[in-house]
Amino acid sequence: MRPWLFLAGLNGALAVLLGAVAAHALQNRLDAHAQALFETAARYHLAHALALGLAAFAIGHGGGRAATIAAALFVIGIVLFSGSLYLYALVGERALAFVTPFGGVALIAGWIALAASALRVHQ
């Protein structure tokens, strides 16, 4: 549980930091499309950092293997989905957007695994 909770906290802080960078430092440096991509990346990053925290909680409370799989999928999804959007917004390389849907699938699978872990959680 502890490593996953650590990653959740670290990702939450990073998402807030990158959201602030988008709102302040990058506001006049990116075009509207790139700004929207960066903000979307930060929003999904923060939401899934919280989801990672939920998965860590489930791991510590009997969520079993499904909770661990959920946590791993959330980390993979954050890196692939948000990471590719951050890079695409900053670099402008359209080929980076190819990775984004794989991250989205990992995030969806993470939510399904988290739901499955609820079937094992004991009170």
Q: Please give the backbone phi and psi of residue 3, each rounded to the nearest 5 degrees, phi first.
A: -65, -35
Count of alpha carbons within 13 Å of 28, Cβ hemisphere only? 2
pLDDT of residue 103: 98
Q: What is the pTM (predicted TM-score) of this model?
A: 0.92
Which is nearest to 120 in space by CA: 75, 76, 67?
A: 67
pLDDT of residue 96: 85
pLDDT of residue 26: 83
Asked if residues 106 and 77 have their Cβ atoms less than 8 Å apart, the reply is yes
100, two tokens: 């984004």
103, two tokens: 């991250």
pLDDT of residue 68: 97
pLDDT of residue 121: 55
Q: Where exactly are the structural domains of the chain?
A: 2-118
List per-block mean pLDDT (blocks of 10 residues) for the chain, which spans 123 residues: 93 96 86 93 98 96 94 99 96 90 98 92 53
pLDDT of residue 63: 87
End-to-end CA distance of the chain: 17
pLDDT of residue 122: 56
Which is nearest to 46 in space by CA: 19, 80, 22, 64?
A: 19
* Tokens 């939450």 belong to residue: 12
